Structure 1
Amino acid sequence: MPAEEALERLVGLQAQAPVPPYFGLWTRLAGFRPAELAGLLTERRAVRIALMRGTVHLVTAADCRRLRPCLQPFMERSLATTFGKELDGLDPAEVAAAGRALLERSPLTVGDLSAALRETWPDRSAAALGNVVRNLLPVVQTPPRGVWGRSGRTTYATAEDWLGAPLDAEPDLDSLVLRYLAAFGPATVRDVQAWSGLTRLRAVIERLRPRLVSFRDEEGRELWDLPGAPRPDAGTPAPVRYLAPYDNAILSHADRTRIIGDQHRRAIATRNGLIPGTILVDGFVAGMWRIDGAGGATTLDVQLFHPVSGHRRVELEEEGERLLLFAADGVAGCELRIADA
């Protein structure tokens, strides 16, 4: 399918860093090329914006308008939790209004926006003022940031100005939950809440019950799914896949043991919240990968958590070579290095 359709099928892609969404689509779509996603960004058909759990996602323009109103309660709660002390005695709505006025004149880098706000509130930290705007206003990160092969500082514009259209007037939580299940079901209520950052979604699930099917997992928890969603037989072969850093498949459930064991989850955890690229073997995380383009040569380093042999080893190597060709845009001088457990 086209990249734009895939973005909507997945309800966006995690995009804390500029490049991972390209790998996320490469591993899912046949024949995907970076120019397709880059074009969506430069043509304003896709944007980077803080959404689920307050993290930056790359979504279509239509989803930006649909999703941000649904996630606004989390954005406001997150602001109060993280910067409550620094904002004590300050009216966040007033800061947001000032930020909107500044951004309506022209897009601004985070630093320039914060500096301009500090002219009015010099006793407040730049980080706190900048995050008021990020959390209370639907601000998108404008290109060239996020465009393959280019770089740029994080620069904000309001979604309404950048897209030339208003956000949806009312949040549609029913649609949000249904789309989550279409992408990630079967799932529990806790899974939906962990993915979105929202709370009290059980009432939404109960309202949707007539439109859903339910199951029980090994622990007796109720899982929900769409009636026509694909649920392959347990014996269906799962091919080797290289998942992107921050990939949705790793981060979209409260119970992540469906795809990564607790010991391996600890292995990929970092203090600053970075999630490396991971490798799926038989549908479960079996290692990590990292690409280094220093010195004019592209190197793919794979660290396995357990031995992989036989035809799975062949798949691992062949898929790694494909990833190298994609990452290096076909340039010669690539090297695949696999470190066994």
Structure 2
Amino acid sequence: MGTLSQDQLNRALIERQMLRERADMSALATIEHLFGIQAQEPKSPYVGLWTRLRNFQPKELEDLLTNREAVRMLLMRGTIHLVSARDALGLRPHTQLKLDRELQSGPFAARLKGLDFDEIAEAGRKILDEIPQGTADAGRQLKDRWPDREHTVLGNALRNKLALVQLPPRGLWHSSGRAVCTTVENWLGQPQNAMDKEELVLRYLGAFGPATVMDAQQWSGLTRLAETFAALRPRLVTFRNEAGKELLDLPDAPRPDPETPVPVRLLPEFDNILLAHADRRRVIADDRLGVVIGGKPTVLVDGYVVATWSISKERTISVDYIDAQPRSRQKAVAEECDRLQDWIRKS
């Protein structure tokens, strides 16, 4: 069992997140390798794929969404993710417990008290599978049956109890649209089929490892993954981080030299590289987590967050540095911003 420095963990994460060198992979294969892409902001997956792939064009992802090969839905941490159709059916059952807990303790809990959530879900399923629509719109129809409840509250119950897909044009590059939903079973024509938890952990490690049990739980929103890690232990290798905590990993996964050069990379809002660990110092310092919570797009220099970026209505990118950077690095950041700016203007 060896010790991995912060820089070693950084380089492993950068490599597995396809941020050292742009890859010649399809968008679908990349989405599956990354085990989902945060998609709370409809356009962010496009930037996330551009920064990881050579020659990526928005139409490739638009086609995946319209052809039902990829979907946008509530998944890890109770947030919207872009995943392949296969992963949608396999991952969504694992998120149900967290979403059920939200109904019992979240902001709508008091106004939902006394309701039979399964009964609401079944009524909502019929509405949304017959005519896809927003959850608040479906909630208005449910008020005929539960007139003493607010339609937004009933809609929130559907959001948590049903595996809902946000349909195109929501999530398209040129025409985002409002969130219109139907169930994943209706959209994909297949039932949910929970993937084995061991597969879930192995794929997490492949995309984000080396990691602790708490890291995997932070990424997924699941609990009690220690049991799964324990069952997998004979198939994994172990390390320690600089604080002495145990990290587990796939034996053959890349763990590059900490001196491996890393180019400037621009990340979209809420990129999973910033959210997939309980200890995020491998990519962003603790005193800068507010940048992530605020949902600002970030700039990686030498593998670490040093700035945020934004784009104007005129499609001009500007950078706000958190740390002072030498001129050579500022020049590299400006060049990458120019590349993204040109891509956005031509797409």
Tell whether the structures are fold-level matches, with TM greater than 0.5: yes
Q: Which residue of 2 aligns with 1:321?
A: 338
SS in 2 for 1:57: strand
Distance in 1 separating the partners of 2:295 and 2:337: 19
Letter in 1 for 2:315: T
Distance in 2 separating the partners of 1:218 and 1:126: 51
8 Å CA contact retained: 2:217, 2:223: yes
Q: Does 2:298 align with 1:278?
A: yes
Q: Which residue of 2 aligns with 1:305?
A: 322
8 Å CA contact retained: 1:75, 1:135: yes
Distance in 2 separating the partners of 1:59 and 1:151: 17
Q: Does 2:265 align with 1:245?
A: no
Distance in 2 separating the partners of 1:199 and 1:180: 15
Q: Which residue of 2 aligns with 1:19?
A: 43
SS in 1 for 2:111: coil
The 5 A counterparts of 1:1-341 are 1-82=25-106, 83-168=108-193, 170-266=194-290, 268=291, 273-293=293-313, 297-329=314-346
SS in 2 for 1:140: strand
Distance in 1 separating the partners of 2:332 and 2:54: 16
Distance in 2 separating the partners of 1:35 and 1:112: 30
CA RMSD of aligned residues (A): 1.3
Gaps of 5+ in 2: 1-24
Letter in 1 for 2:340: L
Distance in 1 separating the partners of 2:177 and 2:155: 18
Distance in 2 separating the partners of 1:183 and 1:314: 30
8 Å CA contact retained: 2:274, 2:280: yes
Distance in 1 separating the partners of 2:204 and 2:102: 21
Distance in 2 separating the partners of 1:188 and 1:92: 34
Distance in 1 separating the partners of 2:78 and 2:227: 22
Once the two structures are TM-superposed, the CA of residue 310 in structure 1 deviates from its matched residue by: 4.2
8 Å CA contact retained: 1:41, 1:143: yes
Letter in 2 for 1:18: P
SS in 2 for 1:41: helix
8 Å CA contact retained: 1:54, 1:78: no
Letter in 2 for 1:153: R
Q: Which residue of 2 aligns with 1:339?
A: none
8 Å CA contact retained: 1:240, 1:280: yes
Letter in 1 for 2:326: S
8 Å CA contact retained: 1:70, 1:172: no
SS in 2 for 1:58: strand
Once the two structures are TM-superposed, the CA of residue 312 in structure 1 deviates from its matched residue by: 2.1
SS in 2 for 1:328: helix
Gaps of 5+ in 1: 331-341
